[in-house]
């Protein structure tokens, strides 16, 4: 089990300097809105993933009392794990440095050392939210189980940005094909493995999701997540290049690339229908809890440590039966909760360290 024993924040969000020492594996941060509870979970998320689920720019992460020029300070997050290793992330406006025991490491070397699973209130809107939100949700998890996925997605996004810039540069003329061809090559190298990784992940996830949902809801209602492609082409380099050749005029007219993971969607089907048309709000919450449990199974099956769970103000959204399920899910993991009311944990059967903010 991965366990953080000490956490220190320097010039991060609303914390100029803050230190925590954890004596239980279940830790709840409680206090009123605006006290910085979610910021602590965000810091742990950055230690895990290199980036948080909600940041828009690095400058937003760095504490600034208002009297200094932006960029003067550097944010620092430190965590000492149970095994004695010290992990650090230094956040500057245009760079991010990762260290293990005071020695620089690459993000690839850092990845996976502090595995986490995140559950925030926004996830309860996953089904009704935008396609982009679903992509980010699943990509965050795929990053943890496949370093190649993250590298391919990074290369894809860079090439996509360059190609779109060329397609938008002059709407009245066709860009020189020789300028677009190198970016099409990179896209053709990265799109097929990204599609296959998503498909393989869903083939592993769906049976687990069905099993967990049955155990939670005591129902045999079907649940399935499908990867719905914007364009139906073979996930091969040849298929991608052929699409670009045949659809160059379409892309020129649209002013953007029309093929890639940014256009595909993860669609939830409940009782063989889109989940918004077939599930109640309570059933949607059950699906999200089953999703969390399934993700935990997948991470453990890879042979690594049990992930840390980051649960941001979710107990107020769950009834007692789902709270009980969530507590059982927390077995064999360190968990960090946030809540505005510590009474949410009065019936917890496991010891809880409560930290007021």
Q: pLDDT tens across 215-234, in order? A: 998 888 999 999 999 999 99
pLDDT score of 172? 62
Residue 172 or 295, more confident: 295
Q: Which helix (H) or strand (E) holds 104?
A: strand 103-105
DSSP reduced 3-state for 89 = strand
CATH number corresponding to 1-115+304-357: 3.40.50.300
Reply yes or no on whether the pLDDT at 304 is more than 90.
no
- Please state the domain extents for the chain: 1-115+304-357, 130-302
- How many CB atoms are located within 10 Å of the residue 3 CB? 15
DSSP string computed for 123-166: GGGTTTS-HHHHHHHHHHHHHHH-HHHHHHHHHHHHHHHHHHHH
Q: What is the pLDDT of residues 3-39, one digit of tens each?
A: 999 999 999 999 999 999 999 999 999 998 889 999 9
Q: What is the mean pLDDT of the chain?
A: 91
What's the pLDDT at 319? 82
DSSP class of 225: E
pLDDT tops 80 at residue 70? no
Q: Alpha carbon of 355 to those of 23, 33, 35: distances in Å?
A: 11, 15, 12
pLDDT at 174: 66
Rounded distance between C-alpha atoms, residue 325 and residue 318, angstroms: 10
Give the dihedral sign, CA 310/312/313/314: negative
pLDDT score of 349 more than 70: yes
3 state DSSP class of 281: helix
Class of the 130-302 domain?
Answer: mainly alpha
Instruction: Note the pLDDT of residue 321.
Output: 84
Q: What distance in Å separates the CA atoms of residue 194 and residue 197, rounded to the nearest whole number?
A: 5
């Amino acid at each position: 089990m991965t366990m953080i024993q000490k956490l220190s924040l320097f010039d991060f969000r609303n914390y100029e300097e803050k230190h925590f020492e954890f004596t239980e594996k279940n830790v709840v941060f409680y206090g009123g809105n605006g006290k910085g509870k979610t910021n602590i979970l965000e810091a742990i998320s950055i230690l895990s993933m290199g980036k948080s689920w909600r940041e828009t720019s690095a400058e937003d992460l760095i504490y600034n009392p208002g009297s200094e020029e932006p960029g003067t300070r550097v944010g620092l997050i430190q965590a000492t794990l149970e095994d004695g290793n010290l992990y650090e992330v230094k956040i500057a406006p245009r760079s991010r440095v990762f260290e293990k025991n005071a020695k620089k490491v690459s993000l690839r070397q850092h990845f996976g050392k502090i595995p986490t699973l995140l559950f925030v209130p926004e996830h309860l809107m996953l089904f009704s939210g935008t396609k982009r939100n679903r992509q980010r949700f699943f990509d965050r998890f795929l990053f943890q189980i496949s370093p190649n996925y993250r590298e391919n997605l990074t290369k894809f996004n860079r090439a996509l940005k360059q190609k779109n810039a060329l397609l938008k540069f002059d709407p009245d003329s066709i860009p020189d094909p020789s300028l677009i061809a190198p970016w099409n090559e990179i896209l053709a190298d990265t799109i097929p493995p990204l599609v296959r990784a998503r498909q393989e992940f869903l083939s592993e996830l769906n049976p687990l999701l069905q099993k967990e949902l049955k155990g939670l809801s005591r129902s045999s209602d079907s649940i399935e997540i499908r990867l719905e492609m914007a364009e139906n082409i073979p996930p091969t380099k040849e298929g991608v290049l052929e699409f670009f050749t045949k659809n160059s005029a379409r892309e020129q007219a649209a002013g953007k690339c029309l093929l890639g993971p940014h256009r595909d969607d993860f669609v939830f089907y409940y009782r063989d229908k889109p989940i918004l048309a077939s599930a109640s709000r309570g059933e949607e919450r059950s699906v999200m809890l089953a999703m969390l449990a399934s993700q935990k199974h997948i991470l453990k099956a890879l042979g690594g440590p049990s992930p840390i769970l980051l649960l941001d103000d979710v107990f107020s959204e769950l009834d007692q039966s789902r709270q009980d399920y969530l507590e059982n899910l927390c077995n064999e993991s360190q968990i960090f909760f946030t809540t505005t009311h510590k009474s949410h944990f009065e019936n917890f059967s496991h010891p809880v360290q409560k930290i007021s903010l």
